[in-house]
Structure 1
Amino acid sequence: MRQLGHSTHALMMACAFWLLSIPALATPDMPDPPTLDRLADRAGALPRTHTLMVAINGETVIERGYRGHRTNQTANIKSLSKTLMSALVGAAIERGVIDSVNQPIVELLAPDQIPNNADPRIREITVGQLLSMQTGLERTSGQHYGAWVASNNWVRNALSRPFVAEPGGQMLYSTGNTHLLSAALTQATGHSTLALMRDWLGAPLGISIPPWTRDPQGIYFGGNEMGLTPQALLAFGEMYRLGGHYNGRQILSGDWISASWQPRTHSFYNDDDYGYGWFSGEIEGEPVYYGWGYGGQVLFVVPGRAMTVVLTSDPTPPSSGRYLARIKAVVAQLIQATAE
């Protein structure tokens, strides 16, 4: 066998020493079954809870259904679907369908979707600003939601709204933003958002994605009314926790996940930061990233605790905005239970 040169041998020894000197990655304690049962009961005691799933270190440690609901049953995830739309946009960028987050949205839409009398500033709105809710356009959510979904063209209606801030400025949470992304993906690929979700996310994750609501032009609703099982949401969350890797495949790039979790604006609804379809904050000293839908549809990823949490709830009104704080209290208890 050919002998190694002195410099090569020294380099290999240095690398070996470096590898051995790396401290073992901390792993959270696994709560005992009685503790897990107690935490699951606390989650179920919340008046709206339908299901709870918790994975720690890739192992599902809680899987509960409440009030007749099951974790393999499709749930309306409401605005949590914005988090799925963000993943789809990331997949589109990786495939070259979208140039980057800096591409103007008007370049991706059909010409007849652009209103003739729209403010010229709509040509400044980028894909990234849509994802981070920084378009500056009047919202289609809140008090404007009913009129928007009753309109005969959701895309043109969203783009016709007045600017109430400058593009790239404050956060103005608006479901119309993510619906514009759905329209852009449909136009740019010639395939429905449903087909793209199934091809780019569903198949590699091994999850089923059923059809959901479409607008009057047949574009799948980008940002609301999507249906997934809690089991599917857990797989999606675990993929993000693992840096885009799942089932032996790299489904999304780690760079996209980092970009999605980077704070870009701030929400006055929950006092947390917002990136590309993900809220971020801190619970019990741990950084957390989460998607949030009306009524209490949540997906939490807690990387420092190797934890993913899915909780689905009654999606029908009324639901107080303060309900999220009660869900966060459950997540805090789960984090406490894994403290070393």
Structure 2
Amino acid sequence: MRHLGKWLGRILLALVLAAVAVGLWKREEITRLMAVNSLFSEEKIVGNFSNMGKAFLSVPVPRGSGPTSDLPYGPETALPPEVDPWIEARAVTALLILKEGEIVYENYFLGTGPDDLRISWSIAKSYLSALVGILLDEGKIASIDDPVVKYAPELAGGAYEDASLRQVLNMASGVVFDEDYMDRNSDINRMGRVLALGGKMDEFAAALTETFADPGETWKYVSIDTHVVGMVVRGATGRPVADLLSEKVIAPLGLEHAPYYLTDGVGTAFVLGGLNMTTRDYARFGQMFLQGGTWQGKQIVPADWVAASTEPSAPTSSGSYSYGYQWWIPKGAAPGEYMARGIYGQYIYIDTAREVVIVTNAADRKFRDPGIDDQNVAMFRTIAESL
């Protein structure tokens, strides 16, 4: 019996040591997985959204060696009285307003500040769209009606076999993808775990096989479509998206701080929502689009792409928000009124006629509640009309 006890003790010690070794070996993956599981918790969400690079793999998007572009301050504007309760109700962490290219309001909340590099979530989709427009103009991508497999052959035989670049830009691929952030087993959350555990996003996309409609027939917002756009961009150029975005968009805009992308385990940028930068630098991008793709006299994004990508072109249902090429057009929009939008309250709202850009960052855990998007757009319109 004594020998049996010693034997069992040795086995137990070996198991403990093995568990410790595995824990040390997989420490980073375990830390990232724990971060995913607590990313949106009430007590951590605000801090997490300004510090995503501490919990996930990332790659810098160099700002270049040029000086910071001017983003001047105009006379400070008093906002309508209903703005303050809206800020509190929507857990807004940053609000910045440009009028005619000048900052007329800028404020930060919930312990955040102007130098925070904030997660874009799906605002990042609109940046990738801008990059597509540039590559089309350069001839690197021949046509948005090209099949995606022309540039990303690893997608052949899967759900994206018959989809064109136009259709994935429009979120009309017809691919089955569950984007319920509240369901731990949804596709979007499975994808998050792939990201956290150092997996390969390309393999995740290529493994999708189910469709619910023919490409181009039906609109359904599925973020994996944007990853496929990123695969096309990489396949057309042979270069990482972070490098391309730095060279063709970020450096020309003269950002204040170098942004970064979250990445998967092989360094592939999380293009559908992983861009992180300051609120002021999101505003630069919005102002550049408001100006038809120009910045300080230089054409950054082709003007015809700015117009085409922000016009309703997707087969959305009547009475809903419209969609262009990775840009949203709100209900009842005036000409030149559109926005980039991300979960939990991230927006770049553009009113071209009034020369207004409104940028918000937020940690709104009620962002999915009925009518919240409509309330936010109504607030943006109220602000724009008051200036």
TM range (shorter): 0.7 to 0.9
Work out the CA distance in 1 between the residues paired with 2:298 and 2:122.
27
Q: Post-superposition shift, 1:48?
A: 1.1
Matches of 1:114 and 1:32, distance apart in 2? 52
Q: Which residue of 1 aligns with 2:251?
A: 203
| 1:245-300 deviation line (CA, Å, top 9, x unaligned) | 11221101110011101212255799210000111135686752001100000000
Task: Say whether 1:157 aligns with 2:207.
Answer: no
Question: Residue 162 of structure 2: which of 121, 124, 148 is its match?
Answer: 124
Kindly report which structure 2 residues correspond to 1:204-243, keeping only aligned pairs within 5 A, or say none: 204-207=252-255, 208-243=257-292
- Unmatched tracts of structure 1, length 5 or more: 1-30
Q: Which moved more, 1:296-305 or 1:224-233?
A: 224-233
Task: Give 1:246's match in structure 2, choosing from 295, 299, 323.
Answer: 295
What SS class does the counterpart of residue 260 from structure 2 fall into? coil
Over 3 Å counting, the alpha-carbon distance change for 1:39 and 1:90 in structure 2 is: farther
- Structure 2: which 5+ residue stretches go unaligned? 1-73, 181-185
The letter for the 2-side match of 1:133 is M
| Paired position in structure 2 for 1:139 | 177
- Structure 2 residue aligned with 1:193: 241
What pairs up with 1:57-206 in 2 under 5 angstroms?
A: 57-109=100-152, 111=153, 113-114=154-155, 117-118=157-158, 122-139=160-177, 141-142=179-180, 143-151=186-194, 152-159=199-206, 160-206=208-254
Is the 2:94–2:108 contact (alpha carbons within 8 Å) kept by the matching residues of 1? Answer: yes
Structure-1 separation of matches of 2:246 and 2:131: 10
Alignment partners' CA distance in 2, 1:54 and 1:223: 25
Change (3 A) 1:234 1:32: closer
- CA distance, structure 2, for counterparts of residue 299 and residue 228 of structure 1: 13
Instruction: Give the C-alpha shift of residue 138 in structure 1.
Output: 0.8
Contact 2:80 2:386 in 1 (8 A): no
- The aligned amino acid for 2:158 is A
Task: Kindly provide the CA deviation profile for residues 182-218 of structure 1, in whole angstroms up to 9, marking residues without a partner as x.
Answer: 2222233222111111111101111244222212342
* Partner residue in 2 for 1:10: none
Worse overlay, 303-312 or 141-150 = 141-150
In structure 2, distance between residues paired with 1:94 and 1:190: 17
* Match for residue 324 of structure 1 among 368, 373, 376: 373
Match of 2:31 in 1: none
Structure 2 residue 89 is matched with structure 1 residue 46: yes
Post-superposition Cα deviations, 1:100-126, rounded to whole Å, max 9, x if no partner, equal 2111111111x4x235x525xx34311
Kindly provide the amino acid, as one letter, of the partner of residue 311 in structure 1: T
TM norm structure 2: 0.71
Indicate if the aligned counterparts of 1:197 and 1:209 stay in contact, CA closer than 8 A: no
Deviation at 1:148, TM superposition (A): 3.2
Equivalent residue runs for 1:283-294 within 5 Å:
288-294=337-343
**1:52/1:310 contact within 8 Å kept:** yes
Query: What is the CA distance between 1:129 and its match in structure 2?
Result: 1.0
- Alpha-carbon separation, structure 1, partners of 2:345 and 2:209: 29
CA distance in 1, matches of 2:250, 2:341: 20
Alpha-carbon separation, structure 2, partners of 1:35 and 1:286: 26
Q: Structure 1-normalised TM-score?
A: 0.81
C-alpha displacement at 1:318, in angstroms? 5.4
- For each residue in 1:216-254, what CA deviation from the matched residue of structure 2 results, as whole angstroms up to 9, or x when unmatched? 342111211211211111110001100011122110111
Percent identity at matched positions? 23
Q: CA shift at 1:149, angstroms?
A: 3.8
**Equivalent residue in structure 2 for 1:296, among 345, 349, 360:** 345
Question: Conserved in 2, the CA contact under 8 Å of 1:82 and 1:223?
Answer: yes
Corresponding residue pairs, total = 302
Q: 1:73 to 1:158 in 2, by over 3 A?
A: same
- Contact 1:260/1:278, CA 8 A, preserved across alignment: yes
Query: What is the deviation of 1:303?
Result: 0.8
* Range 67-76 or range 321-330, more displaced: 321-330
